[in-house]
Amino acid sequence: MKKLTLACPCLFGLESVLAFEVRKLGGENVTVTDGRVTFEGDLSMVAKANIWLRTAERVGIVIGSFKAETFTELFDQTAELPWEEFIGIEDQFPVKGSSINSKLFSMSDCQRIIKRAIVRRFEKVYHKEQFSETGALYQVQYSIHKDIVTLMLDTTGAGLHKRGYRANSNEAPIKETIAAGIVDFARVRGDSTVYDPMCGSGTLVIEAALKALNIAPGIRRRFAAQNWACFQNYIFNDVRKEANEQVRRDAPFMAYAADIDPHAVQLTMENAAKAGVASRIRVRRADLADFHIEPEQKGIVLTNPPYGERMLAVSEAETLYRTMGEVFVPAEHASYYIISPHEEFEELFGRKADRRRKLYNGMIKCQLFMYFNKDERSFKK
């Protein structure tokens, strides 16, 4: 099978996690840039990447990359690319994208020029002047960064964070891809016990369960490329079948979630059931103030407290941070991972984190504050 260049955008701060995932999947020649991981693979890698990657936002096939400072350069080089290798005579090929720090910056003009260039290419190769665009959808995506244009076809459709289990969410859910990144930083394994005492719609415990049981996050959903002529049904079906065989139902993983809001408790139960992990997640209504882990107990606490922007007033959020500092006691076997945008989180919590990591929860710049257990602390020193 022919080698393709694939590119996956990700949230800032998750590039290293995503690159690790890609390598584990068998992606070759992996390169990492801000917010993107690029690699090589065949058509089956496209299916694997869509079905398996937990921290990628989508998977694109790179059709070409070149320098362009004028619309003529953009048009000519776009028209030279072999679009017909993927897009058929009746298929739809809308164009969208973005430009940063480049001479070509007008989105509507770039869109129009790229579209016209692809049409010009098709006029030559298909010997036609009109294209019905009634067939499968091939979303063309362009990105221009410092005058370097990259042109891709999106194979994913609705973003990869849409796993299919969270039709309902509470007011301030964390994105599934960032939750999966936190699960990775916390080294959740098949034998881990995970806690989230402010679970909202349950994203962190559900992502932890999916990882621990080796359930592919995209196993239950469809992807845009499944409608493409080059992807005979078996390619996605084979990867899905293999993924089903790789689920580790015997892993002893358990998660304990709680929230003060009964609606959130209900949501977490419903979402866990949709994700197929309800038997691994116990949910109850409880106040953070009553949280405790027995000193001899092993556990990983992952939590995304209210920020005081969308949900509670800042002072109420700060009170919660102080309470967290009291109930998340330093312990032999327990570690704590808390994501917050608050600049003074550590002061309010009462202890300096062992490690911090900048992450973006949507547009909100946050930090993941990591408090290791005793073994990890001595190992990481």
Residues that bind ligand SAM (CB under 6 A): 169-170, 172-174, 197-201, 203-204, 259-261, 264, 287-288, 304-306, 320
Check if the beta carbon of residue 93 is closer than 8 Å to that of residue 83. Answer: yes
Q: Which is nearer to ligand SAM, 92 or 170 (CB)?
A: 170
Instruction: Report the length, in residues, of the chain.
Output: 381
Q: Which is nearer to ligand SAM, 67 or 322 (CB)?
A: 322
Q: Look-up: residue for tokens 């953070």? A: 288
The closest residue (CB) to ligand SAM is 200
Cβ of residue 334: shortest distance to ligand SAM, in angstroms?
A: 18
Cβ of residue 301: shortest distance to ligand SAM, in angstroms?
A: 13
Cβ of residue 186: shortest distance to ligand SAM, in angstroms?
A: 14
Question: Given CA atoms 169, 175, 156, 113 in this order, what sign does their dihedral have?
Answer: positive
Between the alpha carbon of residue 131 and those of residues 63, 80, 123, 163, the distances in Å are 20, 19, 9, 34
Interacting residues of 127 by C-beta distance below 8 A, sequence separation 6+? none
Q: Which is nearer to ligand SAM, 140 or 215 (CB)?
A: 215
Q: Which is nearer to ligand SAM, 154 or 259 (CB)?
A: 259
Cβ of residue 294: shortest distance to ligand SAM, in angstroms?
A: 20
Between the alpha carbon of residue 16 and those of residues 23, 73, 124, 145, the distances in Å are 11, 34, 42, 21
Cβ of residue 267: shortest distance to ligand SAM, in angstroms?
A: 8
Structure tokens at 25: 């999947």
Structure tokens at 98: 């973005």
List, in sequence order, every residue forming a beta bridge with 196; answer none if it has no partner: 257
Q: Which is nearer to ligand SAM, 172 or 255 (CB)?
A: 172
Q: Which is nearer to ligand SAM, 151 or 198 (CB)?
A: 198
Alpha-carbon torsion, ordered 24, 180, 284, 327, to 10 deg: 100
| Angle at 27 (CA atoms; ends 25, 30), nearest 5 degrees | 130
Cβ of residue 35: shortest distance to ligand SAM, in angstroms?
A: 22
Helices (H), ranges, the chain:
15-25, 43-52, 71-79, 107-126, 176-185, 203-212, 233-245, 262-274, 314-327, 345-349, 374-380
Q: Which is nearer to ligand SAM, 90 or 316 (CB)?
A: 316
Cβ of residue 11: shortest distance to ligand SAM, in angstroms?
A: 14
